[in-house]
Every structure is written in C-alpha cells, then in structure tokens.
Amino acid sequence: MTPRAPSPSRRTLLRATLALPASALVLGSAPGTAPAAAPPSGSATRYTIVPFLDSDDGTVNVYQSDDATDFRLVKASAYRPPAGRIRDASILRHTDGHYYVTYTTRTWQDTSTTIGFARSSDRVTWTFLYDYPVPVGGLARAWAPEWFVDTDGSVHVIVSCSTADNEWNFTPYLLSAANTALTAWSSPVALSGIGANHIDTFLVRVGSVYHAFTKNETTKYIEYGTASRLTGPYTLTRTGDWAGWGGYREGPALVRLDNGAWRLFFDGYGDGGYYASDSYDTFATWSAPVRLPTLSGTARHFTVIRETVSGGPAPARDAARSFQSVNYPTRYWQKQSSLLDLPVVSGSSSTAQKQACVFTAVAGLADAGALSFRDTAGNYLRHYDFRARFDPADGTATFARDATFVPRTGTAAGSIRLESYNYPGHYLRHYNYQLRVERADGTDLFRQDSSFTPVTAWA
C-alpha cells in the first residue's frame, strides 16, 4: 500500500488556487474555561461541539459527550447559513442563556471579509443573526474566529486576517464586544508578538497569564506562547514539534476536564484524523495524541464548551451493593484473589461467592464528587496495569487517583459507567469476563461492556 501523502493546508490550497487562471477556479462559559470538578450526584458533565463536515462546509453537525472522548451525534445538518459557507465554528454559552457560534463565511477560493454569527436556545436549532464585515484595511480573508471570554466577563473574538498584498499570510486580531447582545464590536487590534503567518489562534487565561495556541502556517506545527496582557506582547516559547503532536495540525481548542487536566483538540488535516492530548502541568508537557473515534474523518475545526447539567447518575453511597453487567445480566462483579472478575452468580452460588460480590461506593479518594469502591475487607478498587483489582489504600496521591472513578450514565435505566479519574476517556469494562480499564472506542458494544447496574447486595 502506498503511504498517503499529507493533505495540503489552507495556505497551500489558497496559494495554488490563486495561481490558477480564473477559468480553472472551483467554487458563556467560554470554550474551555469551566472549573474542574466531578459533577455532583444527579448531574452530568456535557461537552458540546459544532463542527463543519469534511464532506460539506455548508453545514454543521452538533455532537455531545460526557467525557470529551466519546462524542455522539445529537443532530446532523443542524444549521446552514442563508448564504455562504460555515467553517471553523466556535461555540459560546453567553450570559443571556443562549448559545452562539461565530464562523468563517466563505470557502477557500472566495474573498472572505466577514465572519458569521448564529444563536440557539438549545444547541440544536440555530438562527442566523448576521455577517459582520471585519474592519481591517485591505482585508482579503477573515478566517477562523474563536471566542474568548476574559475573567472579567468581557467577550471577545480572535479572528485570523490577511490582506490583499499577501492573501495567505494571516495575523490574529482581537475584536471586543461593545454590547451584551454581541451585535457591536470594537476596532480590530492585532495581537502583538504572535506575528504574521499564524492562524487559528486560541486563547485561555489561567490566573494572570494569557496562553495562546496558534498554527504556524510555514512549519505546519501548533505553537504556544504567553502574555501578561490580552493584546500582548505574546512570547512564543514552544515551536516546532515541541509537544509531540506532529505536523499538519490546525484548529487547536482547549477545554478543562473534570479531573483538572486541560485537553487540547486539533484537526489532523494531514491524515484525516481528529486528535486530543492532555496536560496536567499548565501546558508544559502533553500526553501522546489520541485519534478520536466518531469524529475522525468526519468533523473539521471546532471548539468545545463544557457544562454541568442535570440528569446524571446518582448511585447510592455508603450502602452495600452488587454490580450487574448490563449486557450479561447473569454476571456480576466479583473479587477473586484480589482481582475483579465477572462470573455468573445465582441463588445457588455459595455464600462465599455471594459475599465476594458485595461492594460499597464511597466518596472518591481523589475527588469527593466522584466515587471509590470498597470490598468487605476495606480494600479499594483500583486499576494497576489497567487491570481492576483490590488493594489497601497506601495514602499516596497515585493510589487515590487510581482508585477514583467518575460515574457516567450507562446504557440501561439505572446503570452507570465508571470513567477512570486519572485516565480520562478510559472506562471500567469487562473483557473475557475480566474487569479492565480501557479507552472508549465509540462503539455501542464498548458502552454496553462498560455499563453496570447497582442492585441489592447478594449477601
């Protein structure tokens, strides 16, 4: 099989397009800023994205997830603007309770001097608001607008702009909302220090520091820098393949996870994948990028909002329970020589076998909003080499995180799924009737294998 060559970037495509003769042209919470904590009992975390499609840049889908890994389609073709295209949609939950998207309004070949705005009350049904002409002198392209809400509540959009004298050389500009209706904007201000030839600039603020992630269109790498003021000057301290994400990456977008980590999503347009990578030390180091199921090959350039909503699982705490497999209902959690397995248990099982199926959910050792599980001897359920087992607590932070699970809604009424606290997107699931912690793969089978119903204790 011949290796697939990297897909061209937007700059490369635009450069090639502009070289062709005319006859050949082919025509609120802010993203990422919600505080980190496991959702309280009866509530759930909800991540929402509104990406445009690899196959159609005239519409967007709506997806949601409870773990920022396993995204499921809520509505296909949820919004199509009355004219133009919708690309690079960035989503915001505003203080008026509505959701807003801002987006690129034209495709590759067209002059694009506006950014679009639409609004929704439910994230699903969207209403066009207006196209805003970005007032940059000599503007040729206004692309990839990204919301940013500062700690004082002020709302901004970062938009990548190029001018007629160099149509593929983009610079990030700041627009600030001049009213709460988000219909009037300040004059654009270039973000100092990032410089020309950068696109898809995404900002978050942590404490007093502004952090910028931006794509260098020459190297095709996502770069990173900081500033003490919103408008800069930013100092780009991480360039090249500094985080191990590889090249031909764009559209960086950050969101805070329940366990406090920051997750960065990016569009791997060079290989058709969509990726996520996590940082636990405020962006100094990152986990190996993981290709996301469901979205890869379908979704393009999006941002993420995280909300806590009602309707999540509310498993009983401090009460003895047994845990029944949803898709193998004759099988139950059972401790066998310190390991957690899933054998068949029935009324004719021995007293010892039934007692080995009794567990108590308590407040999570690493996060009181999450759960930990004790056996009848007081040992805690934890993962070790991704195998589920019971060990006495040793008082370390590592053990506490290994023994903490965030409850998510299961596939059957009353059931729960248990996401690993320190390996987000990994779930306790059965495989060959053993309990392991494994990464969600986006399939219904995995969701069923990782769903368990708390029932009356066997003994």
Q: Do 349 and 423 sit in the same domain of this protein?
A: yes
Residue 158 to residues 139, 174, 175, 285, 417: CA-CA distances in angstroms? 15, 5, 6, 25, 38
- Whether the pLDDT of residue 103 is over 80: the answer is yes
CB atoms within 10 A of CB 218: 11
Identify the weakest region by mean pLDDT among 104-108, 147-151, 349-353.
104-108
Flag whether 149 is in a domain: yes
CATH of the domain at 440: 2.80.10.50
- Whether the pLDDT of residue 26 is over 80: the answer is no
**CA–CA–CA angle 49, 52, 54 (5° rounding):** 125
Q: Do 344 and 449 sit in the same domain of this protein?
A: yes
- Return the half-sphere exposure (C-beta side, CA atoms, 13 A cut-off) of residue 127: 7
Residue 394 CB contacts under 8 Å (≥ 6 apart), including other chains: none
Last residue of a domain, one of 257, 282, 310: 310
- Whether the pLDDT of residue 134 is over 90: the answer is yes
pLDDT in tens, 253-291: 999 999 999 999 999 999 999 999 999 999 999 999 999
Task: Report pLDDT for 37.
Answer: 87
Which residues lie across from 141 on neighbouring strands?
Answer: 112, 162
Flag whether 177 is in a domain: yes
% residues pLDDT > 70 (the chain): 93
Task: Report pLDDT for 31.
Answer: 72
Flag whether 162 is in a domain: yes
- Whether the pLDDT of residue 187 is over 80: the answer is yes
Q: Do 149 and 293 sit in the same domain of this protein?
A: yes
Q: Do 399 and 299 sit in the same domain of this protein?
A: no
Before 40, cis peptide (omega within 30)?
Answer: no
Q: Do 348 and 295 sit in the same domain of this protein?
A: no
CATH of the domain at 148: 2.115.10.20
Confidence of residue 35 (pLDDT cuts 50, 70, 90): low
Last residue of a domain, one of 289, 310, 331: 310
pLDDT in tens, 327-336: 999 999 999 9
Q: Do 44 and 109 sit in the same domain of this protein?
A: yes
In angstroms, the CA 310 to CA 258 distance is 16
Q: Which domain holds residue 386?
A: 320-456
Q: Do 219 and 302 sit in the same domain of this protein?
A: yes
pLDDT in tens, 75-96: 999 999 999 999 999 999 999 9
More confident residue, 13 or 348: 348
Q: Do 140 and 104 sit in the same domain of this protein?
A: yes
Flag whether 1 is in a domain: no
Confidence of residue 16 (pLDDT cuts 50, 70, 90): very low
In angstroms, the CA 306 to CA 293 distance is 19
Confidence of residue 30 (pLDDT cuts 50, 70, 90): low
Residue 128 CB contacts under 8 Å (≥ 6 apart), including other chains: 81, 82, 116, 117, 118
Residue 21 to residues 26, 119, 171: CA-CA distances in angstroms? 11, 39, 27
Residue 284 CB contacts under 8 Å (≥ 6 apart), including other chains: none
Q: Do 298 and 413 sit in the same domain of this protein?
A: no
- Give how many domains the chain has, as a whole number: 2
Last residue of a domain, one of 257, 289, 310: 310
Flag whether 5 is in a domain: no
Flag whether 3 is in a domain: no
pTM: 0.92
Residue 330 to residues 280, 324, 327, 346: CA-CA distances in angstroms? 40, 7, 9, 7
